[in-house]
A and B are shown apart, each in its own frame.
Chain A
């Protein structure tokens, strides 16, 4: 069936706006009227099928998957590969020119072309394989669709396939079901939905029939497609289906977002541009030279192409890919799974991290934070508790509060010996998040909760509901008191109304104005911490009125139907106030440290959360995202004050801002907390940051985060709590959901940028010794000192591993103490790097190569003076008796054997001089002696490249295949002075840089 694809730009803009939905504001009858349905009868089958025909099935348009072949092609033809392709094509052109114009064509250009093509293809497949491995395409939205849905049609309820659901259907939802479409609730029974996939809020939300908020995510009477009914049941009328649902819009928005180039891709483009300009300029200059030297036009063109192609760094593509892959693997070991290789570096150049709160900064687990009793606020950290344990042990108040908290709690540990043997905090529990938190706290402090509950058996209970906002139960106690004990817990303002006394220091005293003020202060303080506060109270029911065996009537059934019905046959006022317990989803242990590190690394942190501003601000303060000590109210006002450092902004305020205001908001405030934000707003925030030139990392776990994740320069999803959708939209996955892991990522990203620079410097340095032989061959007409195959042996053989080993190099200085690189000015390959690599390191190598070439030639009879102008005769098959400086006459075959020996010697020289070039590339400023030799991969690579050179030179058949000859032993020692020269020169250069920063050496050679 034809489905409209919402991917055009206009539609995308439309998607960015908030969903337009007013069904929650309408009266239920109006909703029925709008959709032509009724709660009892539902839709008729006929009408349903008509609507189905009109709206399409109720499922999400599958994400358009990039065909594998396109993904492969992207790897084959993107960026660097394209440069190599052009090189390869040029090679073939040059080869055919030679083939058709010269009598005695060489096949070098063809070999080079083939080598280039194979490098691209192999590297292409490699990176494609890497990508495919780490990014499994998950059709995750599909999994959100429930398997069966119960709808009322023709007055009968029946199970149908959820994709057949249409607008206007009446659906019945049981506990544990996924909501099959966006619905307006018409009847609910203790319904709680898990909206975490939409908002990221971990706590199940109470849903009912009331319209409580203008915001569609907040209001009680809506439940959304793809969310989960954790508790209770409901009946609702379907108001949106398929792609029009809340989640469907997000899915389409995510699918439609196009991302810009990654910083590393931009850098590589920049690098290619520099290389190309240099190659073409050098090529053209020497092409013109060759014409003046009397070569034919065809020869000149072949030279031009050869020179251009000779400067293509064949091995670099593979090196960069492998370096990134290695880093990705290293990061995977540290719980950062990288899906997109290029994203690794992005993290390093990140300037802004937009982080989610729940689950990333916090543990996503409600925990008891503080308690207030005896007019003290006590930190309920386990450690804190033990230091105060004596005080607590003898406090009557504490024991009363603990009793109340233990008894007035319906949460239990999952009854499984395996589970019960675990440490308390890790046990599985059943029940409401805050009750679980209190249960765990009590178990931890007082010990055996279940035993205590069984000896203080529950006689009657009233469950917590969103309308009464308290919960009470009546127990018989084991403390030799015949009277029943009524314990109550709930929202403080509700409990306080029912209390007449307060229990302080073991005395029950009147709950007068003084104590009320005390309570107010404590409550304010706790809630300012962003904590959810619960109040506890108890009451001994008089024995005379409520003797043993008294029938307590809680009227639970009625109670749910009519929440305002509070007719119990026992009193619920005149209680004794015990204290407060406050709960919070606490920040993860090492987050504060990680935030501090981010800050010292010059990275701004913005917190974007769907949570309440107070909670958000509290966590932000706790973790150090906000360092301003002002009150949260002040911070909220700071939004419009450009001088303030920190601010907290509410989603509703954000909604009213235009883009200029947003720009200013983000530009002028260093520390920002966005609270109560919608997914669309998250996306807008990311876009604003990007507009300001920031490189944005976004963390998120919910479906709602996926547009922002996709839009961000690097999207970071959570591995444990993250929805599949968010994982799919992201570039990186934190396997342990820990924000601190991002720091590792940033560090690795920065190291790899530095190390890639070093790798490039190393790889490029052998370009001059590879190019200059050809230039001298052309200009001075000497026999060719270094052949194409030898060049390939260097570029794709001996140079590869050392270049890759630089990826293992440790950072030179504390890279987490310097600001992120400025993408506009700090480039991967700069003219200075090229000048350093080509002009200096390369020159020494070339010098060494020519020296060894001269010696090999001379020792075999051709003195330097004889070499000049020899090219034509040397290369001519017709000359069978070429005389050398000793009067010996050489046949073509014999000369070529000598020439190949020279190539081998030149090749070996480059390898040997590259030893110290590699050592020099280890650091950019530090002396080698300070940098140390602890990079064992690099040390091994030096040995390896030497062994490889020995193998290539001496192994029979292999050496002939590569047109090499065994070298005499002493030729291996000839390059050593140049090897030493590299080391001395570079140490001197770095010493100057360190000693005289800003001097000409520093300006011209530090890359």
Chain B
């Protein structure tokens, strides 16, 4: 039949891939079919998509295409970077570099406690990740798994050097002994700050001096404590024995009213059992408790400002065990949270002396 034969020929022409799909595979073209593609064809398509030698295309784009889009995105990224940088630049140009825009209760520092609540810092802290002070008192240098005390001493030295270094241009520290805070406060805002004299520790014949290796080599480590600086924050110290927490009532002296008191102890009963005797060396005359003199506050970003320090001297502790130590600062406007996690007004570290 004539009609039928025209039919057949038309059909063959119209189906380029129906004759043999094998021949199609050799071409460098993406195969498009009405039927489902076989795995072979899909793999072929993927390969051709990755690199098409015929059109020199990589991932469906030739060199020019890639250059164009790269240029486009380069320009675009530069533009965005420019916008971002100029915005940040403008902001940085107008922002006050000495006084934080947010102070006191409006600062993010006060977010969780509704008013600024300084924590404590301790030294030596050798690792960013750890609060552990672990060493072998017989070794100076770390050797394998035996940690020596050398690095702890070095860090303390380094830290204390900061207090002795003469800041030629800006050192405007003044001696605040016996001056009332009301007289000092305006001077602070002028950029002056009280001098913290670290020679005191040597002068008072304390064990916590570098000459005595802070007694690390005797298994009686000295740990340095400092109160966190918060702009404009002033302590409200306890004024009489009636106000102080229970444990201080017995030892209350009138001197205490000028100090933010600091006490360290084992965190749990077990830890407390391992700590037999602690001494505190600070500006205070007593060694039964530590204290930061209130004349150092408020901190108003003075150039020569040095935080007051306390040495906690673990005079007699159990060796070869882990002791969790918690030190707390006490003032009427420092609150604590018993949950370890927050460390409000306190600091936590561990001791292992071998």
Contact = CB atoms under 8 A, between A and B. Distances in A.
Given A880-B343, A901-B108, A886 B100 contact: yes
Interface stretch (B117-125, B207-215, B262-270, B273-281): B117-125
A549 B347 CA distance: 127
A890 B109 contact: yes
Given A859-B101, A878-B125, A887 B11 contact: no
B229 interface: yes
Contacts of B305: 887
A316 B35 CA distance: 30
Interface string B74-94: 001100100110011001100
A785 to B, nearest CB: 13
A843 B130 CA distance: 38
Contacts of A898: 108-109, 111
A878 B128 CA distance: 7
A469 B57 CA distance: 75
Contacts, number: 152
B231 A839 contact: no
A820 to B, nearest CB: 15
A651 B306 CA distance: 102
A416 interface: no
A891 B228 contact: yes
B102 A664 contact: no
A880 B88 CA distance: 29
A660 B111 contact: no
A479 interface: no
Chain B interface residue count: which class? 35 or more
Interface stretch (B65-73, B148-156, B237-245, B289-297): B65-73
Contacts of A893: 112, 119, 341-344
Interface string B23-52: 000000000101100000000000000000
Contacts of B119: 880-881, 889, 891, 893-894
B6 interface: yes
B78 to A, nearest CB: 12
Contacts of A835: 69
Contacts of B14: 664, 667
A661 interface: yes
Contacts of A890: 109, 228
B8 interface: yes
A858 B92 contact: yes
A73 B190 CA distance: 72
Contacts of B32: 824
Given A886-B231, A889-B121, A894-B109, A878 B95 contact: no
Contact of B108 (A104, A663, A864, A894): A894
A431 interface: no
A104 B130 CA distance: 11
Contacts of B130: 878
A913 to B, nearest CB: 13
Contacts of A851: 84, 87-88
B125 A888 contact: no
Given A664-B11, A847-B84, A876-B129, A887 B299 contact: yes
B72 to A, nearest CB: 6
B189 to A, nearest CB: 14
A691 B343 contact: no
A454 interface: no
Interface string A821-842: 0001000000000010001100
Given A824-B32, A844-B80, A880-B120, A891 B343 contact: yes
Contacts of B76: 839-840, 843
A642 B129 contact: no
Contacts of B11: 660-661, 663-664
How would you classify the secondary structure of chain A's contact residues: helix, strand, loop or mixed?
helix
A375 to B, nearest CB: 42
Contact of B92 (A691, A864, A981): A864
B191 to A, nearest CB: 13
Given A664-B10, A881-B226, A981 B301 contact: no
A860 interface: yes
B351 to A, nearest CB: 14
Contact of B91 (A664, A855, A878): A855
B7 interface: yes
Nearest to B131: A878
Given A693-B34, A878-B130, A894-B111, A888 B342 contact: no
Nearest to A852: B87
B230 interface: yes
B101 A881 contact: no
Nearest to A690: B34
Contact of A839 (B10, B73, B229): B73
Given A642-B10, A851-B88, A854-B91, A889 B69 contact: no
Nearest to A260: B36
A486 B347 CA distance: 120
Contacts of A965: 108, 111
Interface in B1-23: 3-4, 6-8, 10-11, 14
A566 B338 CA distance: 115
Contact of A888 (B84, B87, B109): B109
A478 interface: no
Contact of B34 (A691, A854, A873, A897): A691
A103 interface: yes
A851 B92 CA distance: 12
Given A858-B95, A880-B347, A901-B108, A889 B228 contact: yes
A1004 interface: yes
Nearest to B77: A843
A863 B91 CA distance: 11
B54 interface: no
Given A843-B77, A878-B127, A878-B130, A886 B98 contact: yes
Interface string B233-262: 000000000000000000000000000000
B294 to A, nearest CB: 18
A872 interface: yes
Interface string A679-699: 000000000000111000000
A640 B3 contact: yes
Given A878-B128, A894-B112, A888 B100 contact: yes
A901 B108 CA distance: 8
Contacts of B131: 878
Contacts of A546: none
Contacts of A883: 229
Nearest to B101: A859
B103 to A, nearest CB: 9
Give the residue among A664, A860, A889 with the most B Cβ atoms within 10 A.
Answer: A889
Interface string B131-168: 10000000000000000000000000000000000000
Interface in A87-121: 103-104
Contacts of B129: 103-104, 872, 876, 878
23 contacts: A640-B3, A642-B6, A642-B7, A661-B11, A668-B10, A835-B69, A843-B77, A847-B84, A855-B88, A859-B102, A860-B100, A860-B107, A880-B121, A880-B343, A881-B121, A890-B228, A891-B342, A891-B343, A893-B112, A893-B343, A901-B111, A977-B87, A1004-B69
Interface of B: 3-4, 6-8, 10-11, 14, 32, 34-35, 68-69, 72-73, 76-77, 80, 83-84, 87-88, 91-92, 95, 97-102, 106-109, 111-112, 118-122, 125, 127-131, 226, 228-231, 299, 301, 305, 341-344, 347-348
Given A103-B129, A642-B10, A894-B112, 19 more contacts: A640-B7, A664-B11, A824-B32, A839-B73, A843-B76, A843-B77, A847-B80, A847-B84, A859-B101, A859-B102, A864-B92, A886-B99, A887-B299, A889-B118, A891-B118, A891-B343, A893-B341, A898-B109, A968-B106
Interface of A: 103-104, 640, 642, 660-661, 663-664, 667-668, 691-693, 824, 835, 839-840, 843-844, 847, 850-851, 854-855, 858-861, 863-864, 872-873, 876, 878-881, 883, 885-894, 897-898, 901, 965, 968, 977, 981, 1000, 1004
